[in-house]
Amino acid sequence: MLPDQVLSQLKAIVGPQHVLLESEDLQRFGVDRTTLWQANPCAVVLPSAVTMVQKIIRLANDCNLAVVPSGGRTGLSGGAVASDGELIIALDRINTVIDFNAIDRAVTVGAGMITADLQAFAAKHDLLYPVDFAAAGSSQIGGNIATNAGGINVIRYGMTRDWVIGLKVVTGAGDILDLNQGLLKNNTGYDFRHLFIGSEGTLGLICEATLQLTRPQADTTVMVLGIETFAAIVEVLEVFKTKIELTAFEFFSQAALDKVIKRQGHSAPFATQAPFYALIEFETRTQVTSVALALFEQCAAQGWVLDGVVSQSLAQTRALWRLREDISETLWHWQPYKNDISVRVSKMSDFLAEVDQLVAARYPDFEIVWYGHIGDGNLHLNILKPEDLPQTEFFERCGIVSLEIGELLARYGGSISAEHGVGLLKKSLLPYSRSPVEIALMRSIKKTFDPKSILNPGKVFDALV
Ligand code: MLT
Ligand code: ZN
């Protein structure tokens, strides 16, 4: 419960109608896409200006009130969960285009702008914001930056980090920082911008962002190949990567495809069934398409590829993409335990063999669904909850196996979170990817920007040991 005096100060800052206290709002704003934690914030505030955010943070410091920053809440690691009486600051109303410069190909937007709206704005100006993923229709730019979102085009365009050229943030101490001002070259000491990217709301609130746009992509062609084994997927990736500039190389298993077809009503790419499928995308050019077809023949001759299809129209390209893009949404039906792991692409083959063996041995009674951005070395290993098993028990059992996956990843120099972030879900696994010295340094950095530890406490790591 918020003390009356704090409540009236919040109302004075943002306007009474922008302080939400109804249970329905608290439930809606208090969770992300994870289903493990219950929402229990004390209130939600919706500021419309950076100065309002600053006032709220100063007030929170004065009364030791924990704050959870909130974007589109499409996160998969509990980073935006408010389950312990925190105040939620939602950036929804700071959502407009603030500046656009065609010469710089740069746009400054409010952090609450929906990703798809930014993509549409760029397209209207014959430009491209290339970071894309299934949740683009509801995720917000600020949240994408706070989690350094990846997605389906990383092999070609990189992660969110690669497109952020300026940030306006309010730190946990209540200072407004205007970082990097959209500059391409700026060697003036520590680049704080990069500390805030991927910090999951633990250092400050991202309020505005300046993003680099690029020239639009040509139309693309998609090829879906049915593949015999994990090892063969990596062989096919290597063959295609050496000859073609790919815009995506994704994969999914037959189990993933079956579920998407059944629940979304999509059609199978071809009649042959295969243990795995690779979705390969490249810019449409006659020459490139004939090289791709030759590579397909080569892979089939090796026995790696069982069947395949090449899109012949934009509609078919889109339909093939749905088979991959709709997996995540489809799987929510089974309350999956989500692993989001990565290793260097060159180590993928050996790692896949080991992780496949481990998972088969440790989850004999659970259904496993594989998919992910294999071209980036990123696997989404989803374990589906059996209907009759309580969720907490299921997550406990998965958590134990995750420690073994963590050990394996540490041996391979891999990451326990490739793109979903650490949040609450992966906190206990952090030591498998980051050394004790690194985690201690993270704690010191947090103390510098958020001395009273009011921002997203308990996310990524625990502030005090
Ligand atoms: C995806 O690749 O589909 C997203 O990261 C979401 C997910 O893993 O569920
Ligand atoms: Zn992903």
Q: Find the distance separating the first CA and the last CA of the chain, reported in whole Å.
A: 27
User: Which candidate, 255, 270, 267, 281, places its Cα nearest to that of 307?
Assistant: 270
How confident is the model at residue 285, as a pLDDT? 87
Q: Is the CB of 380 under 6 A from ligand 1?
A: yes
Q: How confident is the model at residue 463 (pLDDT cuts 50, 70, 90)?
A: confident
Q: Is the CB of 33 under 6 A from ligand 1?
A: no
Q: Is the CB of 397 under 6 A from ligand 1?
A: no
How confident is the model at residue 71, as a pLDDT? 98
Q: Is the CB of 134 under 6 A from ligand 1?
A: yes
Residue 29, burial from CB neighbour count under 10 angstroms (0-12, 13-18, 19+):
buried
CA of 328 to the centre of ligand 2 (A): 9
Ligand 1 closest atom vs CA 419: 5
Ligand 1 closest atom vs CA 371: 2
CA of 247 to the centre of ligand 1 (A): 17
Residue extents of the structural domains in the chain = 4-92, 97-212, 220-328, 335-436
CA of 325 to the centre of ligand 1 (A): 8
Ligand 1 closest atom vs CA 380: 8
Q: How confident is the model at residue 1 (pLDDT cuts 50, 70, 90)?
A: confident
Task: Convert the pLDDT of each residue in 292-348 to its tens digit.
Answer: 999 999 999 999 999 999 999 999 999 999 999 999 999 999 999 999 999 999 999
**What percent of the chain shows pLDDT beyond 90?**
98
Strand partners, 224: 279, 309
CA of 120 to the centre of ligand 1 (A): 22
Q: How confident is the model at residue 286 (pLDDT cuts 50, 70, 90)?
A: confident
Q: Is the CB of 77 under 6 A from ligand 1?
A: no
How confident is the model at residue 464, as a pLDDT? 62
- The distance from CA 329 to its chain's CA centroid, rounded to whole angstroms, is 14
Query: Which residue, by CA, sits nearest to atom 5 of ligand 1?
Result: 151
Residue 427 has pLDDT above 70, yes or no: yes
Query: Which residue, by CA, sits nearest to atom 6 of ligand 1?
Result: 328
Which CATH architecture best describes the domain 4-92?
A: 2-Layer Sandwich (3.30)
How confident is the model at residue 76, as a pLDDT? 97
Residue to substitute in 32, 148, 328 for testing ligand 1 pocket (most ligand atoms within 8 angstroms of CB): 328
- What are the tokens at 306? 């069982």
- Fold of the domain spanning 220-328: Alpha-Beta Plaits (3.30.70)
CA of 402 to the centre of ligand 1 (A): 18
CA of 154 to the centre of ligand 2 (A): 10
CA of 40 to the centre of ligand 2 (A): 28
Q: What span, in angstroms and rounded, lies between the C-alpha atoms of 194 and 197?
A: 5
CA of 330 to the centre of ligand 2 (A): 14
Q: Is the CB of 147 under 6 A from ligand 1?
A: no
Residue 192 has pLDDT above 80, yes or no: yes
Q: Kindly report whether the global pTM for this prediction surpasses the value 0.85.
A: yes
In the predicted model, what is the mean pLDDT of the chain? Answer: 97
Task: Convert the pLDDT of each residue in 96-121 to its tens digit.
Answer: 999 999 999 999 999 999 999 999 99
CATH 3.30.70.2740 fits 335-436, yes or no: yes
Q: What span, in angstroms and rounded, lies between the C-alpha atoms of 19 and 40?
A: 15
Query: Which residue, by CA, sits nearest to atom 9 of ligand 1?
Result: 328
Tell which CATH classification among 3.40.50.1370, 3.30.465.10, 3.40.190.10, 3.40.50.150 matches the domain 97-212: 3.30.465.10
CA of 24 to the centre of ligand 2 (A): 30
Q: Is the CB of 48 under 6 A from ligand 1?
A: no
Same fold flag, 97-212 and 220-328:
no
